[in-house]
Amino acid sequence: MNKFLILCMVFMCSACTTQTIGIVQPQAAATPTKNTSPLDSKLSSTATIDNFTITNHLTPITLNVNVIILTNDQKKHSNFDWNNAEEKSLVQDYFEKINEVWSHFYQPDNLTGCYTGTDFYNDSKIRFKFNYITYEDATAWNYKNSGANIEKKNYSGISPYEGWYLKNLDQKFSNDPSIPKGILVYLTMDGENFDRFASNNAKGYNIAGVEASQFPTTTNLTRTSSIHIPNRYLKYLYHRYQLTTEYKTNWQETRKWHVNDAVGSAHEFGHTMGLEHSNQYHKANQCKYALMSQTGSDPRNYLQPTEILKAHKNLRESNLIQFVTENSFLGNTFLIPQHTTWTKTQRFYSNLKVADNVTLTIKEPIIMAPQAKITFGKNAKIIFEKNGKITYPNGKEFTGYVNKSTDTIIKN
């Protein structure tokens, strides 16, 4: 096993080569099939947490994402210029493409080797709210200060983990009260080759499109989560000036190719949600339709329902809970059908219903959406033990109980 694979196992990170150097043309338009699940038509659908399904009526959960555009103050131009309307709109369209990917999946005609179920979710019901920050730091701007060298396929330095070369920036942005707490996305450069490519509008550009991301954690709920996207500005110059000539077309067309590169970044967001290249249905890169394939020429416009539900589970149980917007609320109801004890912190974007004669014991803090209700069935109870409590995302005590009586909530 090589050094990089060991690094990914230890630090739960992932570096992926998911883009070609040249073009990634948009996929042909298709009409996505709607969700197919037995609960799809009823707003009042109630299911247990284990039997949760994605239905069309659900309102998406939204995560804050801070896109950090790193610059080098010793250079006139070193990354996307937020005062340049063309470059600003391109960056915004690139990242909004990620939302398009996660909200418009397509059902393949043949899922042999990909999935054995018959259900399908065209929309993950997960969205990303992007906040853009330009930040001067010449050392951080040059990812080669991490020891990584993409040309030599040395990717270990660019992969985010608690000890990587941007760890100080992780903490800086995470602890800044003026910045929404969110997933951190860093746009960096190959500082050794930047001047050579930037001076001639990326003529001869030959750096592979490698991005890296960090898996979520359920043991440290305050940990940061980062994604690393190197050389995106150089790739813009390549699409803007070189491919228009090479393919005898115009920037309006090659701009689409550039934006479509964001499918690779949507793949990295999948890792941030806890998804891997393989799952119980196929080995790594064996399902060409899956978003988590590393092959840039694959369709990559599909996710198995089990993978989407895995992402939602991580949104309830991992450090991702701190990045979700305060008002995110799916609108469904989770039934607690039998005596249950919760021993870890969770965040719910759903109503809860404690069934008749059922006791729910809570030993660690539970976070509920501001719109949520907790309904008690006949003789149902909630018992708080140890650190157990229920709050809103802002830390205030939860008050949205229905059918509450003097003996339905017990604090031990």
Domain that holds residue 337: 333-411
Q: Is residue 260 part of a domain?
A: yes
221 with 322: CB under 8 angstroms?
yes
- Same domain as 264, residue 127: yes
- Residues with Cβ within 8 Å of residue 221, at least 6 apart in sequence: 318, 319, 321, 322, 345
Q: Other CB atoms closer than 10 Å to residue 400's CB: what's the count?
A: 17
Q: What is the pLDDT of residue 12?
A: 53
Q: Other CB atoms closer than 10 Å to residue 65's CB: what's the count?
A: 23
Q: Cα–Cα–Cα angle for 193, 197, 201, nearest 5°?
A: 165
Provide the whole-model pTM: 0.92
Q: Is residue 328 part of a domain?
A: no
- Same domain as 263, residue 341: no
- Same domain as 339, residue 319: no
311 with 278: CB under 8 angstroms?
no
* CATH assignment at residue 299: 3.40.390.10
Q: What is the pLDDT of residue 5?
A: 31
Q: Is residue 53 part of a domain?
A: no
230 CB-side CA count, 13 A: 35
Q: Is residue 52 part of a domain?
A: no
Q: pLDDT in tens for each of the 412 residues of the chain? A: 333 333 333 345 666 755 444 444 444 444 556 676 544 544 446 799 999 999 999 999 999 999 999 999 999 999 999 999 999 999 999 999 999 999 999 999 999 999 999 999 999 999 999 999 999 999 999 999 999 999 888 998 999 999 999 999 999 999 999 999 999 999 999 999 999 999 999 999 999 999 999 999 999 999 999 999 999 999 999 999 999 999 999 999 999 999 999 999 999 999 999 999 999 999 999 999 999 999 999 999 999 999 999 999 999 999 999 999 999 999 999 999 999 999 999 999 999 999 999 999 999 999 999 999 999 999 999 999 999 999 999 999 999 999 999 999 999 9
Q: What is the pLDDT of residue 293?
A: 97
Please state, in angstroms and rounded to a whole number, the distance separating the CA atoms of residues 378 and 389. Answer: 22
- Same domain as 337, residue 319: no
- Boundary (domain end) residue, out of 297, 323, 349: 323
User: Tokens standing for 26?
Assistant: 């948009």
Please state, in angstroms and rounded to a whole number, the distance separating the CA atoms of residues 125 and 331. Answer: 11
Q: Is residue 78 part of a domain?
A: yes
- Same domain as 96, residue 192: yes
Please state, in angstroms and rounded to a whole number, the distance separating the CA atoms of residues 81 and 249. Answer: 25
Q: What is the pLDDT of residue 46?
A: 79
Domain count, the chain: 2
Radius of gyration (Cα) for the chain, nearest Å? 23
- Same domain as 220, residue 106: yes
**Backbone dihedral region of 12: left (phi > 0), alpha (psi from -120 to 50 degrees) or beta?**
left
Q: What is the pLDDT of residue 16?
A: 79
Q: Other CB atoms closer than 10 Å to residue 357's CB: what's the count?
A: 12
- Burial, 49: exposed, middle or buried (Cβ in 10 Å; 0-12, 13-18, 19+)? middle
- Same domain as 402, residue 279: no
270 with 36: CB under 8 angstroms?
no
Q: Is residue 289 part of a domain?
A: yes
- Same domain as 85, residue 105: yes
- Same domain as 244, residue 105: yes
DSSP 122-180: S--SEEEEEEEEEEE-HHHHBGGGGT-BGGGTB-GGGS--TTSTTHHHHHHHHH-TTS-
Q: Is residue 24 part of a domain?
A: yes
Q: What is the pLDDT of residue 94?
A: 98
Please state, in angstroms and rounded to a whole number, the distance separating the CA atoms of residues 65 and 389. Answer: 28
- Same domain as 20, residue 112: yes
Type of residue at 299: P
- Same domain as 361, residue 238: no
User: Tokens standing for 394?
Assistant: 């802002």
- Same domain as 201, residue 178: yes
Of 197, 150, 177, residue with least CA distance to 4: 150
- Boundary (domain end) residue, out of 323, 351, 371: 323
- Boundary (domain end) residue, out of 323, 342, 370: 323
Q: Is residue 84 part of a domain?
A: yes
